[in-house]
Amino acid sequence: MGNGSRDDIVERLETLPFPEQDLDENIPSTRKMPRRRLRDLSIVHNTTNSEEVSTEQQTVVGSSSVPEILDEGRGRTLLTDLYNLNSVERVKVTRNSHGQPVGQEARLLAGYLGIIAQNANMLPINYESWHNMPDSNKNQALTNIKDRFALEVSDAYIKKALGKKWRDNKSILKKEYFKKPISLEEKLQNVPPGMLRYQWEDAVRFWNLKKGEDRERVGTSSRQKQKFTYTAGSRSFACVAQAVEASSGQKVGRLQLFDITHRKKDGTPMTSEAAEIMEKLKDKKAEYEATASTDSSVNFEDIDNRIINKVLGPERYGRVRFQGSGVNPTQYFGSTSHQYMPSESQSQAEVQRLKDQIVQIQASTDEQISQLRAEAAAREAEQNRKYNELQLQL
Query: Does a structural domain hold residue 72?
Result: yes
Separation CA 46–CA 86 (nearest Å): 10
Residues 214 and 250 in one domain: no
149 SS3 class: strand
Residues 200 and 254 in one domain: no
What pLDDT score does 303 carry? 84
pLDDT digits (tens, 9 = 90+) for 165-215: 999 999 999 999 999 899 999 999 999 998 999 999 999 999 999 888 877
Separation CA 255–CA 234 (nearest Å): 20
Q: How far is CA 276 from CA 23, 231, 280, 284, 382, in A?
A: 44, 17, 6, 12, 63
Query: Does a structural domain hold residue 14?
Result: no
pLDDT digits (tens, 9 = 90+) for 130-173: 999 999 999 999 999 999 999 999 999 999 999 999 999 999 99
**Which residues of the chain are under the pLDDT cut of 70?**
1-40, 47-81, 221-232, 297-298, 300-301, 335-353
Q: What is the pTM of this model?
A: 0.66
What is the extent of the structural domain holding 371? 356-394
Query: Does a structural domain hold residue 325?
Result: no
pLDDT digits (tens, 9 = 90+) for 263-281: 988 999 988 888 999 999 9
Query: Does a structural domain hold residue 342?
Result: no
